[in-house]
Amino acid sequence: MKKTLLLILLICSAGVKAQISVDLKSLKKNGTTVSVNKSTLTVNWPAGKSGSGKMILDLDHSKPLFTSIQLGKTGSFQEIAAGLDPAFILRVGKRTLSPQSGGWDVFFDRVPTRPNQSYVVKMDKQRATVSASGSQTIISISDLTASTFKGNLEITLYTGSPLFNVAAVLATPVDSTAILYDAGLVNKSKLWETIAWSDVKNNLQTANPAKTDQSKNLEVKYRTVIGESKGGSLALFPAPHQYFYPLDEAFNLKFTWYGSNYLDLIPDFGIGIRQDPLGDKRYVPWFNAPPNTKQRLNFFCLLSEGKAASVLEDVKKYTHGDSYVPIAGYKTMASHFHNEFISDVVLSGKPVPEKPEFVDVLKKAGLNIVKLAEFHGPGHPKGPDSTRLRELKSLFDQTSRLSDPDFLLLPGEEANNFYGGHWLAFFPKPVYWVMSRKPEVPFMSSDPKYGIVYHVGDKKEMLKLLELEGGLAWTAHARTKASTGFPDKYKEEDFFKSETFFGAAWKAIPADLSLPTLSKRVLNLMDDMANWGLKKHIISEADIFTITEQNEMYAHLNVNYLQMDKVPSYKDGWKPVLDVMRNGKFFVSTGEVLMPVFSINGKGAGETLKLDQSGKATVKMQLDWTFPMSFAEIVSGDGKNVYRERINLNQSQAFGKQTFNWPVNLAKRTWVRVEAWDIAANGAFTQMIWLN
């Protein structure tokens, strides 16, 4: 009798557990329909030109979550995938948080050298909620756990596109935590017919999978791995910039995988994305995970009824084929590359290639103007003179030779002397200068071979040189790396307050997956400098070393769109480039979000706007995007405080272009700027408009 009663209780408890509640109260009309039948949740969403997407989810604990993923027209859907589960591996390490290291802005950290552990994220289907936010439909399923991390699974569908996002949204109460994650989709039933990817030379590669295939890490282009079935293809890929924690190198570390028994932690056959915990084996900071922040361990999937080659072409559209597209009236500029072509090739005795690989890579990325940062280690900035001047002559000769009417390769250095921290010097023409001066050597002299030569002995002479030659200086990787504490430490110095000191450079350091944007570190500095009463600007920087076709360059790149009609010729000098920078006539972008038009009451970036006493104004901005947009933010300040007005753009769909007019009250404000971000944390931001 007792055994019978126990069996009845077990059966009843299992039945109760299977009845998972599904909350639809927050589901608003956006074209998506949802139906619930026992443990099955069926979602149909408009997928643009592809027709409709259909996702059948099973909330039964014993069944794969994705029963079926389909695409097509009503009544004639093609099944792209079946019997899949999401899979996540969370690596948990320890962050260095000393004030000397920059706290949460630290880059000089070596997380994998300290104890760390990998965990499979476990899913216990307890509750489900379906909600709508603009054109997005979010399916949230709880609970997820991994070590001290807890949270939910989120599946986000995008109206008008066959794109969806899968995320483990997790938080921990533990301080000083750094993380990495690998993720993907694993087959619980039938396998894909073909696995496909692009190799680094743009050739499509394929494999016929078997359940016994041991997992393999793939070196791919476009960060994408594809599963192909009879009904179509599913491309799986990460956010193109956010997924890549900052490193000094852009090495291709095999960021995708396929096969069974991945890391001896995921036994089923899967396809997915991965991170190399050792990075470039230099400084490897991983991602920040501050206490109680919701970290989004996520990936995107794109569906197609076509074959792998077709869906890969669709994926490439989201990053313009990993290049920066031309905009009428603008030229693209990237800065801060330590390629060391002069030291490592030209002056090393090696054959000098007619067309160096790094130039070809940068041109293919859609860059018109590239500012180098040579001699960052191997050079002789302080002399002896004969060596230093020979190095500069070689730099000027090669940059001149490698420039053409559409591509301007410019000399530049990360000077790192006199001012404090690291900073870049940029002159409008070739300038011969040595970063040291003995008492008996004049500041300026004439050399029979090189012409005017400057010897700089201190910060006053550095300022004088920049003034004489019309040059600019700015803080590299401000408030992190070797510039931790800068420019704050010299904000009262004459050289910093002078017009020769441009401002600082922006790169996505640090990385934090809880933020809907990339790094706020230098954007916060931009606002601080404006509140200090200084008219400074922020230019983007790459700050990487090796540049090869094999590398994952795009993930680590960013660009400045300068308001210029043509690329200056090298022989005439490039003062127009510095003038555009000085005047703030540019915007910064990761490439997916563009801002070809921006003004407030008719005044553009870098200009001064006089407001009436009401402070009422209208922001006019044209945005052009690939991924659906998330939001724009109007940021302003009054000399003490920073104010943010967020504008929700989640009604947008993929691949849009629109001109917006936003009313804003700027009474008692002294400056204003705008930034905009998409659903993958790609974005763009303007320079300041100054207010009277």
Give the pLDDT score at 42: 97
Q: Find, among 406, 428, 424, the residue nearest to 415 by Cα.
A: 424
Range of the domain at 540: 330-429+470-589
User: Which pair of structure tokens corresponds to residue 208?
Assistant: 């016929």
Model confidence pLDDT, tens digit, residues 305-353: 999 999 999 999 999 999 999 999 999 999 999 999 999 999 999 999 9
Domain CATH code at residue 101: 2.70.98
Residues 264 and 355 in one domain: no
Distances (CA, A) of 292 to 180, 205, 206, 577: 17, 42, 42, 44
Let me know if residue 86 belongs to a domain.
yes
Give 108's pLDDT tier (boundaries 50, 70, 90): very high
Answer yes or no: is 455 within a domain: no
Cβ proximity of 200 and 252 under 8 Å: yes
Q: Do 181 and 44 fall into the same domain?
A: yes
Q: Could you give the angle at the alpha carbon of 71 between the alpha carbons of 66 and 73, nearest 5°?
A: 135
Q: Find the mean pLDDT for residues 105-117.
A: 97
CA atoms lying within 13 Å on the CB side of residue 659: 6
Q: What is the pLDDT of residues 462-476, one digit of tens each?
A: 999 999 999 999 999
Q: Tell me what pLDDT residue 20 has.
A: 84
Q: Of 589, 610, 640, which residue sits at a domain end?
A: 589
Q: Please state, in angstroms and rounded to a whole number, the distance separating the CA atoms of residues 244 and 548.
A: 18
Does 367 lie in the same domain as 224? no
CA angle 296–302–305, rounded 5-degree value:
160
CATH number at residue 373: 3.20.20
Which residues is 194 bridged to in the sheet?
A: 228
Tell me if the bond preceding 143 is cis, omega within 30° of 0: yes
Residues 313, 201 share a domain:
yes
Residue 647 counted as domain residue: no
How confident is the model over 426-462, as pLDDT tens digits?
999 999 999 999 999 999 999 999 999 999 999 999 9
Percentage of the chain lying above the pLDDT 90 cut: 94
pLDDT at 666 over 70: yes
Whether residues 90 and 165 fall in one domain: yes
Q: What is the CA radius of gyration of the chain?
A: 27
pLDDT in tens, 53-106: 999 999 999 999 999 999 998 779 999 999 999 999 999 999 999 888 889 999
CA dihedral sign, ordered 206, 556, 407, 358: negative
d(CA 308, CA 244): 24
Interatomic CA distance for residues 443 and 24, integer angstroms: 74
Question: What is the residue type of 543?
Answer: D
Q: Where are the beta strands (DSSP E) in 276-412?
A: 287-288, 295-304, 331-337, 369-372, 408-410
pLDDT of 189: 82
Query: What's the mean pLDDT in 389-396?
Result: 98
Is the pLDDT at 5 greater than 60, yes or no?
Answer: no
Domain co-membership, 146 together with 249: yes
For residue 689, the surrounding DSSP H or E stretch is: strand 689-691
> CA nearest 520: which of 379, 633, 411, 425?
633
Cα 571 from Cα 483, distance rounded (Å): 34
Residue 651 in any domain: the answer is no
